[in-house]
Amino acid sequence: MRPEHPEQIVQATLDKYARYINAGLAKLYRFADVMTTEWEASGAVIRDIYGKEYLDCSGGPAVFNVGHRHPRVIAAVQEQLDRMPMSVRAMPRQGEADLAELLAQVTPGDLQYTFFANSGAEANEGALKLARLATGRTEFVAAEGAFHGKTMGAHSASGRDTYKTPFQPLVPGFRHVPFGDIDAMDRAVTTHTAAVILEPIQGENGVIIPPDTYLPAVREICTRRGALLILDEVQTGLARTGRMFACEHWGVVPDILTMAKALGGGVVPIGAFTGRAPVWKALESNPYLHSSTFGGNPLACAAGIATIRVIQDEHLAERAVELGGYLLDRLTEVARRHSGIIRQVRGKGLLLGMEFTDPDLVLLITAEALQRGVIVFYSLNNPATFRIAPPLIITKAQLDRAIVALDESIGVAEALLAEVAADLKTHS
């Protein structure tokens, strides 16, 4: 049920953002004419406080793989909520053990042990710490353009200076090389390298897919030099790209794999890192070297188990392949119609990026799309690209509606650009 005076709630919410959250965010919302608030969601549809419907083509991003409020996830969390919402952490917890066992079954290769956190950044922090502990080394190699989170260690591994410079000095020992450049990686990894940390596909950098030979070659370099390989599957994991984990496209098994976002089914936040038994041995003598008050809590684990079962039972990885191929073809047609401002459309499964000639165009297009009832996000590390990462349960008919709205929004931006160019020519 929606409130009687929604406009008052919207104005009060924006005022509170300005006074109590971040005045810059409030300005951005007002500049983009987002004079509403989100209110309810189901499947691939969001409704605002006025009842207007929006197709979710961002997925959080990549949070709502099983859709919003999937009934099986909701039911699992509700059952746990009625029984025991939080753990006293004085006894073993069945839900945590069951989810860890399930992750050992669905992750690639011989990955076996899992530590549960609350977010992707925390999962990556834990993975970096474990790599130091297991190898006795202190240096890391990461990729330019990478995004691993905004805590200090994860931020140090990330690869865009805009977000890093204000917080210097960050954690020492991180070296960045171009993503996809195996020669640069070979030069960077030494006998002092604890681990290489990479996203199999760079999400926040605009959905950058490496050459097919890249990840297998990185795996070989790490093995040869005694460094660990950490793969960050926070965005790409849980069937998003058409496999349960994106590294499976290239047959690569990391030493540590991190995940979050979609693991909680869009209901409860949860992050995790899963590793091979020889690596995990470093934590056996003192299991509390790394810990989390809320990591592995009963609600999150119930959500995680239900989410993985939904992905398996509803064949969402296969669905991502089918719908992702369809969406890529349709967006490629859109790009041909607007070739003057669109550089490239790329993607794997239902993780796609559309890159434009100018970041300002992306801001305009996302705002226009929102007015037409479609939600897409620009990429933090590549603002000239917006990502499309809808729930994997979205229908083809819903995708068709989204494509029409995006095509119209791109047309508005293109017309405005032509108008500006004509004005400049007239006054030159």
Question: Is residue 185 domain-shared with residue 334, that is, in the same domain?
Answer: no
Helices (H), 242-357: 277-280, 298-313, 316-337
Taking the CA atoms of residue 271, residue 276, residue 277 and residue 281 in that order, the dihedral angle to the nearest 10 degrees is -70
pLDDT at 158: 97
pLDDT at 351: 98
The region, left, alpha or beta by phi > 0 then psi within -120 to 50, assigned to residue 386 is: beta
Domain range enclosing 344:
6-19+36-68+315-427
Q: At which of 282, 313, 344 does a domain end?
A: 313
Question: Is residue 261 domain-shared with residue 381, that is, in the same domain?
Answer: no
Q: Could you give the C-alpha distances from 365 to 207, 267, 347, 368, 412, in angstroms and in order?
A: 18, 29, 19, 5, 8
Task: Mean pLDDT check: name the lowest of 66-80, 204-218, 414-428.
Answer: 414-428
What pTM was computed for the model? 0.97
Question: Is residue 376 domain-shared with residue 246, that is, in the same domain?
Answer: no
Question: Is residue 400 domain-shared with residue 288, that is, in the same domain?
Answer: no
30 domain residue, yes or no: no
CATH of the domain at 290: 3.40.640.10
31 domain residue, yes or no: no
Query: Which structure tokens are listed for 232?
Result: 């960050």
Residue 417's pLDDT band (cuts 50, 70, 90) = confident
- With H, G, I as helix, E, B as strand and everything else as coil, classify residue 329: helix
What b/e sequence results for 9-45 when a residue is b if at least 16 CB atoms lie within 10 Å of its CB, and e otherwise? bbeebbeebbeeeeeeebeebeeeebebeebebebbb
Question: Is residue 391 domain-shared with residue 415, that is, in the same domain?
Answer: yes
301 domain residue, yes or no: yes
Residue 427 has pLDDT above 80, yes or no: no
262 domain residue, yes or no: yes
CATH of the domain at 361: 3.90.1150.10
Residue whose structure tokens are 């239902």 = 350
Q: At which of 283, 313, 343 does a domain end?
A: 313
Q: At which of 292, 313, 334 does a domain end?
A: 313
- With H, G, I as helix, E, B as strand and everything else as coil, classify residue 363: helix
229 Cβ contact list (under 8 Å, min separation 6): 195, 196, 198, 218, 219, 222, 252, 254, 255, 256
DSSP 269: -
* pLDDT tens, position by position, 323-376: 999 999 999 999 999 999 999 999 999 999 999 999 999 999 999 999 999 999
**Number of domains into which the chain is organized:** 2
26 domain residue, yes or no: no
256 Cβ contact list (under 8 Å, min separation 6): 127, 130, 131, 195, 228, 229, 230, 231, 273, 274, 275, 276, 279
Closest of 153, 106, 147 to residue 130, by C-alpha? 153
Catalytic residue annotation: 147, 232, 261
Query: Which structure tokens are listed for 109?
Result: 């290769």
pLDDT at 276: 98
Q: How far apart are CA 121 and CA 413, in angstroms?
A: 35
* pLDDT tens, position by position, 161-181: 999 999 999 999 999 999 999
Mean residue pLDDT of the chain comes to 96
pLDDT at 41: 98
* pLDDT tens, position by position, 172-229: 999 999 999 999 999 999 999 999 999 999 999 999 999 999 999 999 999 999 999 9
